[in-house]
Structure 1
Amino acid sequence: MDIDLAAFHFLRPLWLLLALLGIALPFAWNRARLSALRAAPVAPHLLKHLLITPDDPHRLRPIHLLAALLILGGLAAAGPTWQQDRPDFLEDRAPLILAVDLSPSMDASDMPPSRLEAVKHKLHDLIQRRAGAKTGLIAYAGTAHLVLPATQDPQLLDSFLQALGTGLLDAPGKDVVGVIEQAKRLLAAEESPGTLLLLTDGADVEQLDAVAASLKGSKLQVLVLAVGHEDGGALRDAEGMPRTDSSGRPVLGSFDAEGLKKLASAADAPLGSLTLDDDDLDWIELHAQQHLQAVSGDEQDVHWKDAGYWLCWPLALIAFFCVRRGWSVNWLAGLLLACGLGLPGAPVQAGALADAFFTPDQQGRWAFEHEHYPQAAAHFHDPYWKGLAAYRGADYQAALASFASVDTAPGYFYLGNSYAHLLKYPAAIAAYKQALKLQPQFPEAAANLALAIALQKDFEEQQEVAPQMEPDKIEFDKEPGKGKEGQMDAQKAASDALWLQNLTTSPAKFLQQKFRIQSTRRQAAGAQP
Structure 2
Amino acid sequence: MEIDLSAFHFLRPWWLLAVPAALALLWLRRSEGSRLGWRSSISPALLPYLTVDAAGSAGPRPIHAVAALLILGGIAAAGPTWEQDRPPFLDNQAPLIVAVDLSPSMDANDVPPSRLEAVKHKLHDLLARRTGAKTGLIAYAGSAHLVLPPTDDPNLVDLFVQSLSTSLIAAPGRDVAGVITLAESVLQATQAGGTLLLATDGADTDQLAQVQQLAKGSDFQILILATGTAHGGVLHDARGQPRMDAQGKPLLGTFNTDAIKQLAQAARAPLGSLTVNEDDLDWVQLHAQRHFQEVQDAGQPMHWKDAGYWLCWPLGLLALLGLRRGWNVNWTAGLLLAWMTGVYPSTANAGPVADAFFTPDQQGRWAYEHHDFAGAAAAFQDPYWKGRAAYDAGDYRAALAAFARLDTPEAYFYLGNTQARLRNYDAALASYDHALRMRSPFPEAVQNRALVAKLQAAIESEQTGQNSDKPDEVAYDNKKGAGKMGDVAVAKASSADVWLRNLSLSPAGFLKQKFAIEDAKKAAAPAGGPRP
1:514-525 matched pairs, under 5 angstroms: 514-523=514-523
Displacement of 1:310 in angstroms is 4.2
Query: What corresponds to 1:484 in structure 2?
Result: none
From 359, 362, 369, the counterpart of 2:359: 362
Partner of 1:251: 251
CA distance in 1, matches of 2:520, 2:463: 16
CA distance in 1, matches of 2:191, 2:53: 78
Whole-angstrom CA distance in 2 between matches of 1:145 and 1:384: 35
1:346–1:291 CA distance, 2 compared to 1 (3 A): closer
Letter in 2 for 1:251: L
Output the CA distance in 2 between the equivalents of 1:136 and 1:385.
Answer: 25
Partner of 2:91: 90
Whole-angstrom distance in 1 between the partners of 2:524 and 2:66: 82
- What does residue 456 of structure 2 align with? 459
1:172 partner amino acid: P
Q: Which range is displaced more, 130-139 or 445-454?
A: 445-454
Q: 2:433 aligns with which of 416, 430, 437?
A: 430
- The residue identity in structure 2 corresponding to 1:87 is P
| 1:25 equivalent in alignment to 2:22 | no
Partner of 1:480 in structure 2? none
Query: Which digits, 9 at most, give the CA deviation of each residue in 1:7-64, with x for residues without a partner?
Result: 65543233233244335533442244334145453337x7556654377535121112
1:97, 1:138 within 8 Å by CA — same for their partners in 2? Answer: yes
Match of 1:501 among 503, 507, 519: 503
SS of alignment partner, residue 132 of structure 1: coil
Partner of 1:57: 57
Say whether the 8 Å CA contact 1:144–1:175 is kept in structure 2: yes
Match of residue 485 from structure 1: none
Hey, what does 2:70 align to over in structure 1?
Answer: 70
Root-mean-square deviation (Å): 4.2
Which letter does structure 2 place at the counterpart of 1:369? W
Report the CA distance shift for 1:334/1:519 in structure 2 as closer, same or farther (over 3 A). Answer: same
Per-residue CA shift, 1:398-417, capped at 9, x if unaligned? 44444444444554554444
Give, in whole Å, the separation in 2 of the partners of 1:502 and 1:374: 27
**Residues 108 and 253 of structure 1 are in contact (CA less than 8 Å); yes or no, is this contact kept in structure 2?**
yes
Three-state SS of the structure 2 residue aligned to 1:197 is strand
Compared CA separation, residues 198 and 340, structure 1 to 2 (3 A): same
Q: CA deviation at 1:294?
A: 6.0
CA separation of 1:470 and 1:104: change in aligned 2, threshold 3 A = closer
* Change in 2 beyond 3 A, CA 1:494/1:282: closer
Determine helix, strand or coil for the equivalent of 1:190: coil
Q: Is the 8 A contact 2:164 2:508 kept in 1?
A: yes
- Cα offsets for 1:331-358 (capped at 9, x unmatched): 535532443245125665588x998x68
Distance 1:177 1:383 in 2: 46
Residue 230 of structure 1 aligns with which residue?
A: 230
Distance 1:458 1:490, change over 3 A: closer
Distance 1:61 1:85 in 2: 43
* Residues 406, 77 of structure 1: alpha-carbon distance in 2 compared, 3 angstrom cutoff: farther
CA shift, 1:141, in A, is 1.4
- What code does the residue aligned with 2:457 have? E
Match runs of 1:83-482 below 5 Å: 84-85=85-86, 87=88, 89-92=90-93, 94-190=94-190, 192=192, 194-215=194-215, 217-238=217-238, 243-245=243-245, 249-289=249-289, 291-292=291-292, 298=298, 300-326=300-326, 331-333=331-333, 335-342=335-342, 343-345=344-346, 348=349, 362-371=359-368, 382-388=382-388, 390-391=390-391, 393-408=393-408, 410-423=410-423, 424=425, 425-434=428-437, 436-437=439-440, 446-447=443-444, 449-464=446-461, 466-470=463-467
Give the Cα–Cα distance (whole angstroms) in 2 for the partners of residues 410 and 453 of structure 1. 17
Q: 1 CA distance for matches of 2:504 and 2:444?
A: 25
Task: State the secondary structure of the residue aligned to 1:125.
Answer: helix
Q: Distance in 2 between matches of 1:380 and 1:273?
A: 42
C-alpha separation between the residues in 1 aligned to 2:53 and 2:210? 97
Secondary structure of the equivalent of 1:158? helix
Following superposition, the deviation at residue 235 of structure 1 comes to: 3.1
Cα separation, partners in 2 of 1:527 and 1:19, compared to 1, 3 Å: farther
Shift of 1:271: 3.5
Instruction: Note closer, same or farther for the CA distance 1:401–1:302 as it changes in structure 2 (3 Å cut).
Output: same
* 1:204-235 Cα shifts (integer Å, max 9, x gaps): 22233443455564434333333223343333
**Cα distance in 2 for residues equivalent to 1:251 and 1:199:** 22
Displacement after TM superposition at 1:498 (Å): 5.7
Offset from partner CA, 1:214-273 (integer Å, 9 cap, x none): 556443433333322334333345566655545565433212223223333443434443
Letter of the structure 2 residue corresponding to residue 450 of structure 1: Q
Amino acid at match of 2:179: V
Contact 2:57-2:327 within 8 A present in 1 as well: no
Question: How much does 1:99 deviate?
Answer: 1.0
The equivalent residue for 1:476 is none
The alignment partner of 2:136 has SS state of strand
- Aligned to 1:179, the other structure's residue is in SS state helix
Distance between the aligned counterparts of 2:204 and 2:527, measured in 1?
Answer: 18
Q: For the structure 1 residues 304 and 295, does the alpha-carbon distance in structure 2 shift closer, same or farther, using more than 3 Å as the test?
A: closer
How many Å apart are 1:75 and its aligned residue? 2.9
Is the Cα contact below 8 Å between 2:61 and 2:329 reproduced in 1? no
TM-score by length of 2: 0.77
Q: What secondary structure does 1:365 align onto?
A: helix
Aligned to 2:456, the other structure's residue is in SS state: helix
TM-score, normalised on structure 1?
0.77
Q: Which whole-Å CA distance do the structure 2 matches of 1:492 and 1:109 have between them?
A: 38
Could you tell which deviates more after superposition, 288-297 or 185-194?
Answer: 288-297
Instruction: Give, in whole Å, the separation in 2 of the partners of 1:62 and 1:290.
Output: 51
Percent identity, aligned pairs only, is 50
Distance change >3 Å, CA 283–CA 376, structure 1 → 2: closer
**Residue 105 (structure 1) shift:** 1.5
Amino acid in the other structure paired with 1:33: G
Closer, same or farther in 2 for the Cα pair 1:397/1:493, shift >3 Å?
A: closer
CA distance in 2, matches of 1:498, 1:317: 63
TM-superposed CA distance for 1:160, in Å, is 2.0
**Larger deviation: 369-378 or 229-238?**
369-378
The letter of the residue matching 1:158 is: D
Deviation at 1:362, TM superposition (A): 2.4
**Is the Cα–Cα contact under 8 Å of residues 377 and 389 in structure 2 kept in the other structure?**
yes
- Structure-2 change in CA distance of 1:25 and 1:430 (3 Å): farther
Distance 1:176 1:354, change over 3 A: closer
